[in-house]
Amino acid sequence: MDRIKKSVLACVRQCGPDDDLEDALGRIIARHGDSACKVILEVLTHLDFEKAAAARHWQQIIAHQSGLAKTLKRTVPLAVAVCDYFQWVKKSIGFAKLVDVSRFEEIFYRNQHDCLTGLHNREAFEEALAHEMAGAKRQGRLLSLLFMDIDSFKDVNDTHGHLVGDMVLRTVGDILLSTKRAADLAARYGGDEFLLLLPDTNKREARIFAERIRSKVASRALEGDYPFCIEISSGVATFPDDAGSGLALKKFADDDLYRTKRQTKVDCKQQKAAEIKHHLHQAGRAPACPGRLCPAIHS
């Protein structure tokens, strides 16, 4: 869908005479079918339709444009036909506000994304979750969710300052964006919490994906000489196995995240106890470096 949207926006921005725009959009529809109709109407009207409904509306808009041109005895731009169709024929919108499409897309992007990380924001995630959950229920598809946070993030801010904390957040955001698939949606939920929505993904695949992200984050070197590495923890939930609604899916993933953190603390204590026991048996010798005892940020 993103590729189609880029093509549609390029047409809207670059085409001169309206006939050129209609022809260019027609070529996109010929390549991508009903999906292109859906994207075109989203770009032109910000209305969301199912693919088949969007295709019907598009055909009716073209017919309406032709009818207006005959009545007015002049060329009717596509934008005018779209506005007249939805405002007066379908009555789907009230008073229309004119705004340049590039300016609108810029405002819409800022409204949907976190300015620090470039990820989707919480509001955009909630909208996407509701949409994906409805589709998963209707089509009998799997839907998994990763709930992640940065271990000991408060210590980073307290020890190294909030600018370094921002750099850590941006680093995690970059990794999520470069690792996710085209159909996935990555969001910053708030603070150091991140969410990743994985359509058509089962629990096992989601856990593998979570480990891949954890490994990439842990191995990423920060710019500057900072004596710590970044570690994240993840919780996983899958529809329909773990929850039947978006809210329940988030809660299950959040609970799973904290189960993981509790188990990590237990593992750390057991590892430390084993190392102390080992060192006691090695009296008189310098203790070996214990290494990273648990997945957390150490300063």
Per-residue pLDDT tens for 219-243?
998 887 787 889 999 999 999 999 9
Q: Are residues 107 and 215 in the same domain?
A: no
Q: Are residues 106 and 122 in the same domain?
A: no
Distance from C-alpha of 195 to C-alpha of 146, rounded to nearest angstrom: 6
217-225 long-range contacts (CB < 8 A, ≥24 apart) are 217/171, 217/172, 217/175, 218/295, 220/171, 220/175, 222/167, 222/168, 222/171, 223/167, 224/164, 224/167
Instruction: Tell me whether residue 198 is in a domain.
Output: yes
**Which is catalytic among the residues 192, 242, 254, 256?**
192
> What pLDDT is attached to residue 180?
97
> What pLDDT is attached to residue 61?
96
**Residue ending a domain, choose from 111, 134, 162:** 111
> What pLDDT is attached to residue 172?
97
Q: Are residues 204 and 262 in the same domain?
A: yes
Q: Are residues 124 and 272 in the same domain?
A: yes
> Do residues 195 and 189 lie in contact, with contact meaning Cβ atoms separated by under 8 Å?
yes
User: What predicted TM-score, i.e. pTM, was given to this entire model?
Assistant: 0.73
Q: Are residues 75 and 169 in the same domain?
A: no
Instruction: Tell me whether residue 286 is in a domain.
Output: no
How are beta strands 232-239 and 193-199 bridged, if at all? unpaired
Instruction: Tell me whether residue 296 is in a domain.
Output: no
Distance from C-alpha of 3 to C-alpha of 12, rounded to nearest angstrom: 15
**Residue ending a domain, choose from 111, 128, 150:** 111
Distance from C-alpha of 168 to C-alpha of 232, rounded to nearest angstrom: 11
Q: Is 184 designated active site?
A: no
Does 240 sit behind a cis peptide bond, omega within 30 degrees of 0 on the bond before it? yes
- Write down the H helix ranges in 188-245: 203-219
Instruction: Tell me whether residue 255 is in a domain.
Output: yes
**Residue ending a domain, choose from 76, 111, 146:** 111
Distance from C-alpha of 209 to C-alpha of 218, rounded to nearest angstrom: 14
On the CB side of 36, how many CA atoms lie within 13 Å of its CA?
18
Q: Are residues 227 and 90 in the same domain?
A: no
Q: Are residues 136 and 275 in the same domain?
A: yes
Distance from C-alpha of 297 to C-alpha of 163, rounded to nearest angstrom: 16
> What pLDDT is attached to residue 65?
94
Distance from C-alpha of 72 to C-alpha of 198, rounded to nearest angstrom: 50
Q: Are residues 8 and 151 in the same domain?
A: no
CATH number of the domain where residue 130 is located: 3.30.70.270
Instruction: Tell me whether residue 298 is in a domain.
Output: no
- DSSP assignment string, 17-53: SHHHHHHHHHHHHHHHTHHHHHHHHHHHH-----HHH
Q: Are residues 103 and 9 in the same domain?
A: yes
Q: Are residues 65 and 167 in the same domain?
A: no
Residues of the chain with pLDDT under 70: 16-19, 264-281, 283-299
Spell out the residues 6+ positions from residue 266 whose beta carbon is closer than 8 angstroms to its own: none
Q: Are residues 59 and 90 in the same domain?
A: yes
Q: Are residues 36 and 124 in the same domain?
A: no
Q: Which amino acid type is present at position 178? A: S
Domain of residue 201 covers 116-280
Query: How many structural domains does the chain have?
Result: 2
Distance from C-alpha of 198 to C-alpha of 36, rounded to nearest angstrom: 23
Side by side, the strands of the sheet bearing 143-150 are 185-190, 193-199, 143-150, 232-239
